[in-house]
Chain A
């Protein structure tokens, strides 16, 4: 595809349920990021992959959050035992290179609502 694709666009989960959010980055992009955007806030960094290597997971809020990118392309963000405070838009972004400042291209996001 031409851009970053995320699925599902919307997800409603009952508290305590596990969820998996998918990101298809732009083909060939080395770097992949996950961000969390709460209502009225800017995106906040969760984790970063360079190809299949997760180089930075300092933004993951708890051990309930787990991300993977096993083949260096598609990535999945998994949230276990969801809580109401996990309700947010989860944004995925990719960029073509590492080590050079370039803009990141964002997907449309997955809006997660935990009820």
Chain B
């Protein structure tokens, strides 16, 4: 039972265009969402996050949108660059309750940006 779903295993876009990566979740207790980027043979690196009290967070070329009613978030990269080619993971966590801050990850979407 996957709580975080990335339904597109791969995405290919042209350099300079917009990349949109999507993520759906089922657990209404999630209150914090993150996107991680992963290159081959490296660990995931943090990209951008959003709290459930917001619907948008922007950092340079990267913007994350959150639609709580639809339990959906998306990552927009504009303009896309060849160096953005990587696997992108969506992750979510519940409010800290003195126990664990564990992240629940999706399966990832492999983005390829073509020159």
Contacts and interface: CB of A to CB of B under 8 A. Distances in A.
Interface of A: 4, 31, 33, 35, 40-45, 48, 55-56, 58-59, 91, 93, 95, 98-101, 103-109
Contacts of B26: none
B45 interface: yes
B29 to A, nearest CB: 13
B104 interface: yes
A101 B101 contact: yes
Chain B, interface size category, equals 20 to 34
A55 B44 contact: no
Contacts of B63: none
B100 A103 contact: no
A101 B32 contact: yes
A15 to B, nearest CB: 25
A98 B101 contact: yes
Interface of B: 4, 6, 31-32, 34, 36, 41-46, 49, 51, 89, 91, 93, 96, 98-108
Given A43-B44, A104-B103, 11 more contacts: A4-B43, A42-B4, A43-B89, A43-B103, A99-B96, A101-B32, A101-B96, A103-B46, A106-B36, A108-B41, A109-B43
A6 to B, nearest CB: 8
